[in-house]
Structure 1
């Protein structure tokens, strides 16, 4: 079975080819109308060797109508029978080409138009498709040559040999173009694929270097970078709150129940934090059992409610691994305010966390509550 990526690539390629076919059909309308007005201008302003009736009926109206009907037919095939679009396109271009050549075969260079259907197939980069318009050109030339004495007598023996050779030579050149173009496209595809793989690998490595492997939160190094940037924004008026969260009695958990249980506690606390913060907030594992939060675009009361929700949610969980006991956290919270630099803000929050630990744990301490503790 094809992978989803290869299926989507195939569908995209098909859609592009259908778009190219529509563009070619539009260009055929242009060719037909240019020929129409060129013939009309030649009759009106040049010494045209035909009566008005013969010109308007047999040279202008009937051929133009037939070419228009062919384009309409090809467009209908394109809309209703997509698998036959190529054949309809090449048949239409061959009919238009040789109708124009037949009407103007006194112009020696006009037979060069027979290359138009062949080179129109180049855009599809399919070598097998090149031979369809090539064979159609050869068939159209031979049909006119054997069916129309006037066309036959107009051609010299050199023309009889050179026109088929011209068609085959043009097909060979188109074949070389398609081969070279396919190689270039494949090279570009592999180059782009390699670049995409490199971008993905770099993104993964960047994520690994910035995050803590156990909790999937940012690590201490990346947090410090974000903290510096956040403080700069705060100095420009952005609302910023800093919170430090520490798991109570974590060393006892590790010593009593083992490090595997301790790791599970860390992972669960990190997940609860992620579940409660918004997409604009930043959470990090700052130390062994300590977490740091940068909270943006909230009032102090909203920031306090956020960390309290985290604390209460965790305190209500009972752990089978801990003999159905609960795990609690202590929190220090403070807002960035005028007069505090980033070091002072961090030290202040760290002191609040210390007060929370010393005053019974499982609580959030802020500037509003520290006075009552003292």
Structure 2
């Protein structure tokens, strides 16, 4: 099973691992220099065998690893595992008399655990097995100094350590799978909640907000307007002679007209504005962060656009709307805010229709 999340920050971790190789290289040089003062080997021979030679070999290995990481991005994990094997093998070969250094052979296995991938762990185990075979075949002191029992013990320890590494990776992948499943479940639940919330606040016919959502938005916006944080305007839009449309052309034609009127209103308003179906053929529009003139121009554009739109469901006839507009003044209250716009709509209806009338309170102001 693929785990794309395992690739997160992979290059950064590989870079840190490579930096640790450089650190190990420098520490090994420092340690060799310290042993120079306590060794029984002649200074010349010690510098040649234990400082110059390993320094050249290990520096070459780390430099090759650096090149591999830079120019082989798809193989850099394997490059680092191989480099770790070579560094450990070099240290063991140089100091073959120090049996405890054999545990350095576990180094590539430790590195492979970083990647939480079985194939890379198997590659590290293969590297380690090859290194053991090479060292015991080609380093005479190791071949002579370790008995068959010792070698078998080393292989058993390597096997046990490999099993632990497999278990660690299996546990890590299990936790990762659980986290991914939990994340996907939470995401699915979040999306479902968002969809349900949208459905609860949306009018199914016109795809505008519904009556309930309008009141939620209005209460919040009025509170902000009372605190002087925003400017607020309310327009109530009513389709003229809508009952006649339903009686003459049928309710399906009336639904088509409602959807078209709502679409025009939504297309003319901004992202901070609210368009809601208040009921029947009536829509309410809340405008935030706009001047009175900007709002008036928008509702007039909506009205004229609707009046110019022909409807196939009405045999290419047009419909008109009447609009009542009321700006909010701090302290007005939400009831007076709506009643002012509703009174302006009533006047628009009874003074000829197809017009926008401004609330009396706004005209006084």
Q: Using structure 2 for the length normalisation, give the TM-score.
A: 0.92
Q: What is the 5 A alignment of 1:196-345?
A: 196-237=187-228, 238-345=230-337
CA offsets 1:126-177 (integer angstroms, 9 cap, x no match): 2232122112212212212221222333435443222222222111111111
Among 115, 118, 121, the residue aligned to 1:124: 115
Distance 2:20 2:58 in 1: 13
Distance 2:46 2:147 in 1: 26
Cα RMSD, aligned residues only: 2.4
Distance 2:35 2:360 in 1: 95
Q: Secondary structure at 1:343's aligned position in 2?
A: helix
Q: Secondary structure at 2:46's aligned position in 1?
A: helix
Shift of the 369–323 alpha-carbon distance from structure 1 to 2, 3 Å rule, reads farther
Q: What is the 5 A alignment of 1:99-248?
A: 99-237=90-228, 238-248=230-240
CA offsets 1:239-295 (integer angstroms, 9 cap, x no match): 111111111111111121122221111111111111111111111111111111111
* 2:16 counterpart residue number: 23
Among 13, 30, 40, the residue aligned to 1:37: 30
Distance 2:319 2:76 in 1: 69
Q: Secondary structure at 1:280's aligned position in 2?
A: coil
CA offsets 1:186-220 (integer angstroms, 9 cap, x no match): 12211211111111111111111111111221111
Q: Larger deviation: 150-159 or 119-128?
A: 150-159
The answer as to whether partners of 1:242 and 1:293 remain within 8 angstroms in 2 is yes
Among 30, 35, 55, the residue aligned to 2:46: 55
The answer as to whether partners of 1:239 and 1:336 remain within 8 angstroms in 2 is yes
Question: Cα distance, 1:19 vs. partner?
Answer: 4.1
* 1:356 counterpart residue number: 348
Q: Using structure 1 for the length normalisation, give the TM-score.
A: 0.90
The answer as to whether partners of 1:281 and 1:294 remain within 8 angstroms in 2 is yes
How many residues are treated as equivalent by the alignment? 363
The answer as to whether partners of 2:108 and 2:127 remain within 8 angstroms in 1 is no
Among 73, 81, 87, the residue aligned to 1:90: 81
Distance 2:191 2:341 in 1: 38
The answer as to whether partners of 1:122 and 1:174 remain within 8 angstroms in 2 is yes
* 2:58 counterpart residue number: 67
The answer as to whether partners of 1:227 and 1:294 remain within 8 angstroms in 2 is yes
Q: Structure 1 regions of 5+ residues with no counterpart?
A: 1-5
Distance 2:356 2:212 in 1: 25
The answer as to whether partners of 1:266 and 1:289 remain within 8 angstroms in 2 is yes
Q: Larger deviation: 121-130 or 279-288?
A: 121-130
Q: Secondary structure at 2:279's aligned position in 1?
A: coil
The answer as to whether partners of 1:355 and 1:370 remain within 8 angstroms in 2 is no
CA offsets 1:69-110 (integer angstroms, 9 cap, x no match): 222222323333344333322210101112223334454433
Shift of the 72–254 alpha-carbon distance from structure 1 to 2, 3 Å rule, reads farther
Question: Cα distance, 1:363 vs. partner?
Answer: 0.6
Distance 2:350 2:47 in 1: 105
The answer as to whether partners of 1:352 and 1:370 remain within 8 angstroms in 2 is no
